[in-house]
Amino acid sequence: MPTFEDRNLDLIKWHTQYQKNQCEEAYEKMVSEGREYRAIIYEKKGRIAKISLNRPEKSNALNDALYCDLLAGLGEAARDDDVRVVVIKGAGRSFCAGHDLSSPPGDESPPIDPKYHPTVRDFFQFERRRCQKYEDIINCPKATIAQVHGYCIGAGEGIQASCDITIAAEDAQFGTRGFDRLTMGITAMGGTGAPHVWPGGSERYRAFRILPEISGEDAAELSLINKAVPADRLEEEVDRWAKALSLIPNERFAIAKESINSTLDITGLGNAFRNHYNIHLAIQFVRFRSDETNLYKTRRDKGLKGFVQTRSMHATPTLKDDSK
Amino acid sequence: MNYETIILGKKEKRVAEITLNRPDKLNAINDVMMKDIKAALEEVEKDTDIWVVVIKGMGKAFSVGEDLTLKWPSDVMTPNPKERWYLSELWESELRKSNFWQYIYNYPKFTIAQIHGHCLGWGCFLAMVCRTSIASEDALFGDPSIRAGFTSLNPLWTWKIGVRKARELLFTGKYVNGKEAARLGLITMAVPENELMEKVALAAETHVLGTPIGGYDSQSFEMVFMRTTFDIAGLATAWGYATNIHALSAIQRRGFEPGEFDFFEARERLGLKRAIAERDRPFKELGF
């Protein structure tokens, strides 16, 4: 049993790391000039830049390093006058499996372990930075296309939702595991819910809210994404869209994009982000019932894999497939 | 009153009909037509015997949108960025346009757009600002402004079809047919071409028959109520933003990058028809 002092020491350590990450390194972390990317691959071909999320062994789960590399890559593309379109895709079997829940405690990307007792001030700052990352993608002045295959879960959905266009493989899997889409503020805000994607209260919006996981094909049908194609034609289809968008000069595109994004703001995008801070903070204070899955406790007792197993038993309903 | 570019017909049963009447130009909207539409609607507005207004196009199409042969000064055609005009001229023109669309959107009588053939750019706006829009399944909807470098003046795209599809349509300038437009929520419904007139007449009649329940006055009440709700949700601000950004897209003086398609230059060099073909060619080659 850790003493109060031990816990306090942990907190101080975490706090120091946290301040250091954010205040001293944050800017440096996203600087793209002369940067050696570790977690992404940045390729440029004519007017099209491609950013591959490159942690295939973790299904491209997002940790701080990957986020920073991704934003630095976007920054590089944004500043490069030759580039008109940025394609974001995943190396390996999947697009992105969401937050890397095995990240060390100092990382901001996954939910922070409540045992560190971050203050409300810390928390809001941290949430603001996290949401800022999505807003940076939304406000990238170049056209952004997400090329989705395999899993696109949780924060991965947030990334694709922040892109202008999403093309997915028909068998790609979109979903949030064990979270309601509404409480996942970013997903609710960005692309996968709310009036920003569908006119408010539409049946399509409702339909999506109650489906735990949907295929690329269904997502296209629901207008959650723009198009779904067979997996082997994905690359080709994305190239077609990228070429079309690359016909529009940078200056013109930036204004057109601003026009749509301003409508998003008016309909409450900024407020949705703020709402997200609160909801996420509230989640930290949740008291779990005995039959519910507690990430931190289960991870401590059974390890991350154990947690994922337990969660899937609780969170994923068994769907009967009548077609078989 | 007689109109130059439209026909205002009043029918029995409380329905008026505005027919865009430039069939040789596929009902392209010019400044005169803009004024005519507004004047006709104002005329009908005062007539308490009319409860429903149907807007439709003469000839092969509903409307192909703004008349691209026009030159500044014109409210319809966005000016060439290389021309030098005063800011006040630009803003006044932008406000006139924005107020024109908002006037129809907020029109106190029930409006129905009856769409066949092409329904592009401003033609599509006209369909979008009507309260109900019924189209034939093979009608074509879209706004190719971006291909000539302009943004859309109309914030309703995002409101009607959601951000994903709004981006897709406005960033690539692609067209969708009536069936897909109905699925996306851009229009109310799509029907086979031969049933179009019948369905519109039915919708008008249904409204006329339904209205007496609350009386003619209930119509305007409903309108004001609906408008207020949308304005609270931010639509009024969105109109303002869209107007400002549209002005910006016309005014930005950086000019054209090398190799960039310059619509005004192409129109001068090739004539309108070939300039439009030139504008669409690279997109068509990619299947958009």
Q: What is the block-wise mean pLDDT of chain A (324 residues), using blocks of 10 residues?
A: 55 61 59 84 96 95 90 92 96 92 76 71 79 86 96 86 93 72 37 43 54 80 88 97 94 90 81 73 71 76 84 57 46
- HSE-CB at A279 with a 13 A cutoff on CA atoms is 18
Q: Of A104-108, A278-282, B127-131, B219-223, where does the model show the most confidence?
A: B127-131
Domain edges within chain B: 6-255
Rounded-to-integer distance, Cα B65 and Cα B143, Å: 9
Query: Which of B159, B237, B248 is the closest to A199 by Cβ?
Result: B159
**What digits encode the pLDDT tens for the residues B20-66?**
999 999 999 999 999 999 999 999 998 888 989 999 999 999 999 99
Q: What is the pLDDT of residue B5?
A: 96
| CATH of span B6-255 | 3.90.226.10
Q: What is the mean pLDDT of residues B74-99?
A: 86
Q: What is the pLDDT of residue A34?
A: 78
In chain B, the residue whose alpha carbon lies closest to the alpha carbon of A161 is B164
Tell me the β-bridge partners of B53: B16, B111
In chain A, the residue whose alpha carbon lies closest to the alpha carbon of B169 is A226
Give the residue from B239, B68, B78 showing the smallest Cα distance to B154: B239
Interior angle at CA A32, CA A29 and CA A33, nearest 5: 125
Q: Which residues of B touch A216 (CB under 8 A)?
A: none
Superfamily of domain A4-284: 2-enoyl-CoA Hydratase; Chain A, domain 1 (3.90.226.10)
Tell me the β-bridge partners of A157: none
pTM for this structure?
0.85
Mutate to test the interface with A, among B167, B175, B186, B285 (most CBs of A within 10 A): B167
Asked if A223 lies within 8 A of B172 by C-beta distance, the reply is no
Work out the pLDDT band at B177, boundaries 50, 70, 90.
Answer: very high
Rounded-to-integer distance, Cα B224 and Cα B207, Å: 17
Strand order in the sheet with A85-90: A40-45, A48-53, A85-90, A143-148, A165-169, A227-229
List of E strands, B143-207: 176-177, 189-191
State ipTM. Answer: 0.85
Asked if B172 lies within 8 A of A245 by C-beta distance, the reply is yes
SS3 B287: coil
Query: Which of A199, A252, A266 is the closest to B162 by Cβ?
Result: A199
Query: Which of A223, A250, A266 is the closest to B184 by Cβ?
Result: A223
